[in-house]
Amino acid sequence: MVERHKPEAKRVGTARIELIDKRVELPIVEGSEHELGIDIRKLRKETGYITLDDAYTNTGSCSSDITFIDGEQGILQYRGYPIEAVAEQLTFPETAWLIIQGELPTRDELRGFSKMLTNKALLHEGLRHHFEGFPPDAPPMAVLSALINSVSCYHPELLEIGDEHHMLDAAASLISKVRTIAAFSYKKFHGEPIVYPDPSRNYCNNFLHMMFTLPFSSYEPIPEVERAMRLFLILHADHEQNCSTATARMVGSSGANLFAAVAAAVSALWGPLHGGANMRVIQLLQKIHNGEESIDSLVTRVKNKETLLWGFGHRVYKNFDPRTKLLKKSCDDVLRTLNKQDPLLDIARQLEEIAVNDEYFLERKLYPNVDFYSGILLRAIGIPLNMYTVMFAIGRMPGWIANWAESWRGGSRIYRPRQIYTGQKQRSILPLAQR
């Protein structure tokens, strides 16, 4: 069972800062992978100063034991295990357990957790009518966020999490039911009868079954497609303090329950600068394939700052994103097994080749990120475009839960950033008659 502690970096030195009217000494701290930071927790109390860091580019919001990223070396590790090894050797439930509990599950732990995931796959029948209330073209991320909060209304016992067993119960509910919500919304909006989860199927197979089985034909994914689904979810499972995970921590820090925190994280992920980029990439590639724009004209527009090159760039990776290489290989494997060609993959490759050899992108350290090839893999599996970010959310569920749990275990204080006020100085109200 996970010990309840608050991760702490160790003090290794002192930063001496000369301010206008005083100087201050602050601890320099070091993480287990030798990242260094200035601990400013006492800054305001001792000096009255705060720091200012738009978009938190230079600010660590917490110490965390969960995921390590080295953006310069292109390293990603879940609880110390390299993403390449996790992707190669673990199932998605094993990865989820590792990220949330901190250690690889024993055989018995994995058997018990898998059983929980199987038993919690159903939604309360009262929730089925929620899907009726959405228009057929409702954005799936809106449905997902709404249904996650709605699920908690049928499980009030999971709103107040008292101990680790309770947290695991809520975690298993979310990890399991997020698949069912996604599949049910897909079926409803495609006018097909919903398909209930099949307890004889594993996590990924069951999701694909709920998505693609029809009354007259049961869907049996070929092993390569199931492997690709597993890889996709594992590669998206956590990524330290990205926008949606930081949102989950922010919401959880007020004492809000896990479902509310995750529903908020879904909303943050929806944005095109974050999880919504995987859809923008495909739309971009499709435009080029349709002849609506040439690669050269796109690159020119990017350089003129008329558009972003979707799927490129990253706040942390200033080198390749290790997930991209694995996704790219999986695209090749799945398309070869299915004996399919995808012209968008060829265009993506051309675009990558041009960008990684172009000074404009090189000097800004812009490389393909996780979203650049992930959409092509989802296309090969048969997932519709408007569900790509939902798939990202299904993968990221363990990461959001683990970060909420780490904050809950550590008894974190409420997130409440400060600001530097730059508005009007105090003034009197002019009566309306005089305005």
Active site amino acids: 314, 371
Cβ distance 204 to 226 under 8 Å? yes
Helices (H), 338-414: 343-355, 359-363, 370-381, 388-410
Q: Which residue is nearest to ligand SDX (CB)?
A: 313
Which residue is it, tokens 């995808």? 342
What is the closest distance, in whole angstroms, from the C-beta atom of residue 235 to ligand SDX in the complex?
9
The rounded distance, in Å, linking the Cα atoms of 327 and 417 is: 36
Cβ distance 362 to 244 under 8 Å? no
Beta bridge partners of 133: none
What is the closest distance, in whole angstroms, from the C-beta atom of residue 66 to ligand SDX in the complex?
13
What is the closest distance, in whole angstroms, from the C-beta atom of residue 308 to ligand SDX in the complex?
4
Q: Which CB, 189 or 310, lies closer to ligand SDX?
A: 310
Q: What residue type is 134 in one-letter code?
A: F
**Taking CA 327 as the corner, what is the angle to CA 322 and CA 331, rounded to the nearest 5 degrees?**
155
Q: Which CB, 76 or 208, lies closer to ligand SDX?
A: 76
What is the closest distance, in whole angstroms, from the C-beta atom of residue 209 to ligand SDX in the complex?
27
Cβ distance 345 to 376 under 8 Å? yes
What is the closest distance, in whole angstroms, from the C-beta atom of residue 342 to ligand SDX in the complex?
20
Interaction site with ligand SDX (CB under 6 A): 239, 242, 273-275, 277, 302, 308-316, 364, 366, 369-371
Q: Which CB, 155 or 315, lies closer to ligand SDX?
A: 315
Q: Which CB, 197 or 368, lies closer to ligand SDX?
A: 368
The rounded distance, in Å, linking the Cα atoms of 111 and 197 is: 18
Q: Which CB, 159 or 308, lies closer to ligand SDX?
A: 308
- Which of 240, 237, 171 is closest to 204 using CA atoms? 237
